Amino acid sequence: MIEKPKKGQEFSNYSILGRVLLTPEIYDILARTKPGAGGEIQLTDAMAEYARNYGGMTAVEFTGKHYDMGNKLKVAEAQVELALQHPEIGEAFRAYLKEFCKTL
């Protein structure tokens, strides 16, 4: 597992979507994990150590759309896309966007 791999550093098309269930051992691993990407202690680094030393990890393959929550523009795009699909506000939000876009 690599937190935000650079181009050419990725080794699969899989990513972690941010919802994980972990056992208590992860806290000991986090306590000794050195800062990684962005100079921060990364849960991903601790999870990689956990996988190596505690018998791996279990995952579920997700086939929906992936939104990068580490990128401010992508967060905004996700909010717009999901708001447009929302059963309660989607139609009204679409009408708002159409009017708003006329002012650009």
Look at residue 24 in the predicted model and tell me its pLDDT.
Answer: 95
At 8 the pLDDT is: 83
* Residues contacting 29, CB < 8 A, separation 6+: 46, 49, 50
Determine how many CB atoms are found less than 10 A away from the CB of residue 21.
Answer: 5
Please give the pLDDT value at position 10: 75
Under-50 pLDDT residues of the chain: none
